[in-house]
A and B are shown apart, each in its own frame.
Chain A
Amino acid sequence: MLIKRNDGQVARQRLASAYQGLSGGGMDRRGFLRQAGLGGAGLAALGTLGAGRARASGAATGVLDHAKPVTRVKNICTHCSVGCTVTAEVQNGVWVGQEPAWESPINRGTHCAKGAAVRELVHGDRRLKYPMKLVAGEWRRIGWDQALDEISAKLLQVRERAGPDSVFWLGSAKFTNEAAYLYRKLAAFWGTNSVDHQARICHSTTVAGVANTWGYGAQTNSYNDIRNARTMIIMGGNPAEAHPVSLQHVLAGKEINRANLIVIDPRFTRTAAHATEYVRLRPGTDIPLIWGMLWHIFQNGWEDRDFIRQRVYGMEEIRKEVARWTPDEVQRVTGVPGEQLKRVAQMFATQKPSTLIWCMGATQKTVGTANVRAYSVLLLATGNVGANGTGANIFRGHTNVQGATDLGLDVTTLPGYYGLDENAWRHWARVWGVEYEYLLSRFGSKALMEMPGIPTTRWFDATLMPGEREKTAADGEAYVAQPHSLKAMMVFGHGGNTVTRIPESIKGLEKLELLVVADPHPTTFSQVSGRRDGTYLLPICTSFEMDGSRTASNRSLQWGAKIVEPIFESRNDYDVLHALTRRLGFADRMFRDIETRDGKVVAESILREMNRGLWSIGYTGQSPERLKLHMEHQDKFDLVTLRGREGTPVAHDYYGLPWPCWGTPEIRHPGSHILYNTNLHVKDGGGTFRARFGVERNGETLLAEGSWSKGSEIEDGYPEFTVAVLKRLGWFDDLTGAEKASLERHFGANIDRAAWSTDLSGGIIRVAMEHGCSPFGNAKARAVAWNLPDPVPVHREPIYTVRPDLVAQYPTLPDRRGFRMPHLGQSVQARSAAAARDFPIVLTSGRLVEYEGGGEETRSNKWLAELQQDMFVEINPADAAARGVRDGGWVWVSGPENASRVRVKALVTERVARGVAFMPFHFGGFFQGEDRRKFYPPGTDPIVLGESVNTVTTYGYDPVTFMQETKVTLCQIRSA
């Protein structure tokens, strides 16, 4: 009954510090009292003993005048990739309330904590209100014109001296599709491939791994389709916190189908609490576990032999690798008992349809690409791809990371995954209406034009290491393979605390000549380093204050309408990029086909340009009109099939026209709900595996055998469609005159080489579909990806592993080079033995439901910030007891690199196993014990600050995408 004195004090301190700590902002006491129903009378004034009626002062922003009209506007939540519709009530240009968006088939009126609180983002107490410049360590307010003039002048200076590759353009998953596309286009016109966004640190390995298996690297089914599953494995994902509304569909499926919900995770998460079976594994041992499952599957003959024979290449090599992963070896490496894994394997293989859901737990590792490939192989082996209730249900992270990835905010490609070779550039030159030679002239060289750029995870390495023209012999391999190092960084909508090795990134920040942060909030970039000059903050509005489309994880596009005008002096991305490029000198060319009205860029016209160029992924049928029609008739779509009902304006369409939505908008392709689904006609959203990797290998065909999509005139495998293929099939004359003319105009003598993805008329695609064929061919999925460092996924211990005894047998890759930089592997892993002694706890990191990404925006939202006020580390009770650590007590968590450490609160819980610890990554504003609040521009510091987990995370990158290893490293925890 008697409670410790601390708790009451803590509660009071919370309130006190929440108010006092805020620099010139937050709710003042009077407002607080007023809303507590105490009227204007001071409480302590004994003279006023009458409890008078509160005066109606109307200060609260949610006050609605019910007598006047209220408009409802639909937009999409800007947080995660589920894509919940937000219905806003607007009165007098003020966003006064949120109502449930019942009509949306995706969220059906619901939200999570973040979605239910988005109105506060636009009220924007702590948002960046006007452009700011850092001068001698002080933040000064400046005007937009001055800001853009100075920034562009500096950029041109840097370009003159060090070449276009010395500027890093960091974009965002918060961009609408149109903004992402513009940003990528800007980088192309500027002359660099160093343009990236959060997908790098999120699902870059997924895209690479899955695309290298069967063609596209996106979620194959959808959240809604999970309702059809009989067995679901969630491995390396915590959707209860990262995609809460997806659980609506997952749990419904679990109930309706009495489905098996198996959660495989080192932590007993909120998702695991609803599992029918929970499997705990050692962090970083995903491949052994998957191969262990396959061992049981092959052993018992539970695989889908027909599916493998018809649609998979290379399963024999997988069998060889899997044979090594006996239950004993699996248990030795992963810690999972054989009986449990056998049970799980049996459920997955025999109680179908089964689906595999994953998120960062699979991807954020040095073996991320291999992990994802193993997952895909498991799905292929059990025949769980391309049908209802099956598939790789990849839950993307941020609101539009799917769209931004599709639109090429990626150092390895142009929009639409065309890549960077000459054909890709020529295609986009055609779409953009400029000469290929012009684009070539913008780059340092043709080689640089076709070389992947610097990724987000290592921009600071590229800043600190010298370029080719700057290095000396003493530097050895430590140089960037471009003329000069990075000198300037333009950051649009990306946090500074979500990338590993923060202490080193600080050095990089301090070396930059120019840092521009364009964001609704200043981000940790504004305060974490010792920069005193050459830094600009540009207030960009949220996607609620602008029109634009965004692509949810299930590939559906949704059009968000502007709810209110951008607040304070913020502007939207389109207008800022337009203004910037005008000063950089290529706006005329870049915005050639993009409409402006009253000086403002029209988002719809950007989408139309996208429709004209993104044939490779079928972003061509989603015109603004069709998308807006879908938003207007959301309630006409079926909950499970996502199909529009008969007799409605959206009949036959799939909700959001999930890509690929083949051909021009006129042919009204319905979109593809479930990828690679041979049960449907191509015109109905059906498909096959892409023929991306050639026709034959080692004497074996890579094309499908005995499998084709419904109604296909070719009843077998076939390569991707080119004019040559059309001619061979005798279908060339099915093209219309206009389509042939377009091909002739663009390809001339090379017309035979014109492909479905480079044909700007869409004719090849249309003709292929008329004959029931997939434009991209009908091939086998590759179980063996021969172009990757590990063609067959093999287990490699994490760089910093707690089991140095396994390193000899399962080492990481040798040191090599990638993305223009040295990429260390074994030389760093060699430190593991010593590191594991001093840092014996495995550290993993992940999400909280209340915050998103770097957290600067959500920690500035008072309704969310109140729910998670302290950065913490989850520590097992046994580990805590051994260190004298109490629940709620302060601890130092230290990492093996940079003598780094962070001071956080301990959350003693059995969620994590003994020897494992977890920290959320959403916090920033403290650095190694130091409170950095005063370095934010006044009035913009988030309400809640905390240490960043990435202060103590370490070196380690996936070889294919340079994904960082945030899910498994080492740490030590000591009472503070």
Chain B
Amino acid sequence: MARMKFLCDSDRCIECNACVTACKNEHEVPWGINRRRVVTINDGKPGERSISMACMHCTDAPCAAVCPVSCFYTTADAIVLHDKDLCIGCGYCFYACPFGAPQYPRVGNFGGRGKMDKCTYCAGGPQQDNSPVEYIQYGSNRIAEGKLPLCAEMCSTKALLAGDGEIIASIYRERVQQRGYGSGAWGWRTAYREELAV
């Protein structure tokens, strides 16, 4: 079975924000919720790098581990999704997530949160695939249509890769060989504080 992953090739990312607006477009994400965002490190200096970041659909998802109501689930494609009808908006998933993926509409009392929203890898939610209610709550379900996440499909320089982890890793490896420099995928070592060979 495929294991769906994201990989942002920071050698190619130019912070064009296509991934951000493609996501907004496809799922009608409201103002203030940023399922995907682009961050620029070392802005203005040599060594500047831009990286597009959203939920990384971790194999051992910290958000799922800390959720008090256990509203997360992992699909057969290794996509991490959650059930908004079970979410109580406590915010723990944001504390745990190394990537800051959970977003909240900020419509509660005391500056509290509403139902958590995050990147769904364009795989919708627990509602029936491609039904209007799934769209309203989670956005469109491209995976059910056999497509891939729109952010990666529309990335202007094909920096953001999405798909089966093996395949995108081999694409990235080819690029690294072609360039003759640079190695290692972003984020692994820092996020998980582990030594991972990529």
Contact = CB atoms under 8 A, between A and B. Distances in A.
A737 to B, nearest CB: 53
B89 to A, nearest CB: 9
B16 to A, nearest CB: 4
A109 B148 CA distance: 12
B26 interface: yes
B25 A274 contact: no
A862 B12 CA distance: 27
Interface string B81-117: 0001111100000000000000001111101001101
B30 A849 contact: no
A255 B140 contact: no
Contact of B27 (A62, A115, A271): A62
A43 B113 CA distance: 10
A60 B136 contact: yes
A924 B50 CA distance: 28
A14 B29 CA distance: 17
Given A62-B26, A113-B20, A43 B44 contact: no
Contacts of B154: 100, 109-111, 115-116
B30 A273 contact: no
Contact of A56 (B20, B33, B136): B136
Contacts of B150: 98, 100, 116
A278 B178 CA distance: 22
A47 interface: no
Given A51-B85, A110-B154, A271-B14, A911 B44 contact: yes
B24 A117 contact: yes
B135 A33 contact: no
A911 B45 CA distance: 7
A270 B31 CA distance: 26
Contacts of A52: 85
Interface residues of B, number: 63
A294 B9 CA distance: 37
Contact of A110 (B20, B44, B85, B155): B155
Interface string A75-108: 0000000000000000000000110100000010
B133 A53 contact: yes
A97 B40 CA distance: 29
A278 B46 contact: yes
B18 A18 contact: no
A35 B45 contact: no
A44 interface: yes
Interface string B43-55: 1111011100000
Contact of B31 (A15, A66, A248): A15
B139 to A, nearest CB: 8
Given A32-B105, A61-B28, A112 B16 contact: yes
A307 interface: no
Interface string B180-195: 1000000000000000
A155 to B, nearest CB: 40
Interface string A111-142: 11111110110000000000000000000000
Interface in A205-225: none
B137 interface: yes
A7 to B, nearest CB: 13
B167 interface: no
Chain B interface main SS type? loop
A547 interface: no
Chain A interface main SS type? loop
Contacts of B115: 36-38
Name the residue in B21, B105, B153, B155 with the highest tally of chain A Cβ atoms < 10 Å from its Cβ: B21
Interface in B2-22: 11-12, 14-22
A834 interface: no
Interface residues of A, number: 73
Contacts of A98: 22, 25-26, 150
A53 B114 CA distance: 15
B30 A112 contact: no
A97 B50 contact: no
Contact of B18 (A43, A115, A120, A866): A115
B15 A910 contact: no
A424 to B, nearest CB: 41
A920 to B, nearest CB: 14
Contact of A27 (B31, B46, B137, B180): B31
A113 B84 contact: no
A255 B131 contact: no
Contacts of A100: 150, 153-154
A248 B157 contact: yes
Contacts of A116: 18-19, 21-22, 25, 150, 154
A867 B17 CA distance: 9
Nearest to A58: B132
Given A115-B18, A911-B43, A248 B25 contact: no
A43 to B, nearest CB: 6
Nearest to B43: A909
Name the residue in A12, A44, A863, A909 with the highest tally of chain B Cβ atoms < 10 Å from its Cβ: A863
Contacts of B22: 98, 111, 116-117
A244 interface: yes
Given A37-B117, A66-B130, 9 more contacts: A12-B111, A37-B114, A58-B136, A62-B25, A62-B28, A98-B25, A115-B154, A116-B154, A911-B43
The 3 closest A-B pairs by CB, nearest first: A113-B17, A911-B44, A244-B16
13 contacts: A33-B114, A36-B115, A38-B115, A51-B86, A51-B87, A110-B157, A113-B20, A117-B25, A268-B44, A270-B48, A273-B48, A849-B17, A867-B21
